[in-house]
Amino acid sequence: MKRLLFLFLLLASSVFASAQTQVVVLAKSSQSWEGSPLPAYPKEAPEISVLKITIPPHTTLPLHKHPIINVGYMVKGTLKVVTEEGEVLHLSAGDAIIEVVEKWHYGVNESDEPVEIVVVYAGTKESVYSISK
């Protein structure tokens, strides 16, 4: 009986605790931010990587492309992303991005503050995160 009461209290407390939980979808799409469809996942065993990237103030990243799907969450700062075709995306803290895949682009931190972005890459053990031109 004590076990049953303990189990009931445990379940009840988890229900009340979950009532406080909030879930906000930051990004959900089958396309990258500029409208291109995302590629199919590889058939090999997946490997997920989570990186925290800091971009110093007044820094322009080199022209590069990502061969695998990746998404980012802007923790701090502002960032301008520009494709080779001239498409522009402005990101601020709290924004999420579904990055372009196999498309040349670069990022620019034009501010006096560093940018912090957490990026999740969905690839395989052999995958590279980006390729510079």
Q: How far apart are CA 10 and CA 6, in angstroms?
A: 6
Question: What amino acid is encoded at 105 in this protein?
Answer: H
Walk me through the domains of the chain, giving residue ranges and CATH numbers.
27-132 (2.60.120.10)
Q: How far apart are CA 124 and CA 91, in angstroms?
A: 28
pTM: 0.81
Contact between 71 and 2 under an 8 Å Cβ cutoff? The reply is: no
Q: Looking at the predicted structure, is the pLDDT value of residue 112 above 50?
A: yes
Q: Which two tokens stand for residue 58?
A: 């007044």
Tens-digit pLDDT profile for residues 18-60: 578 999 999 999 999 999 999 998 889 999 999 999 999 999 9
Count Cβ neighbours within 10 Å for each residue of 39-51 and write b for 16 or more, e otherwise. eeeeeeeeeeeee
Q: According to the model, what pLDDT value does residue 42 have?
A: 85
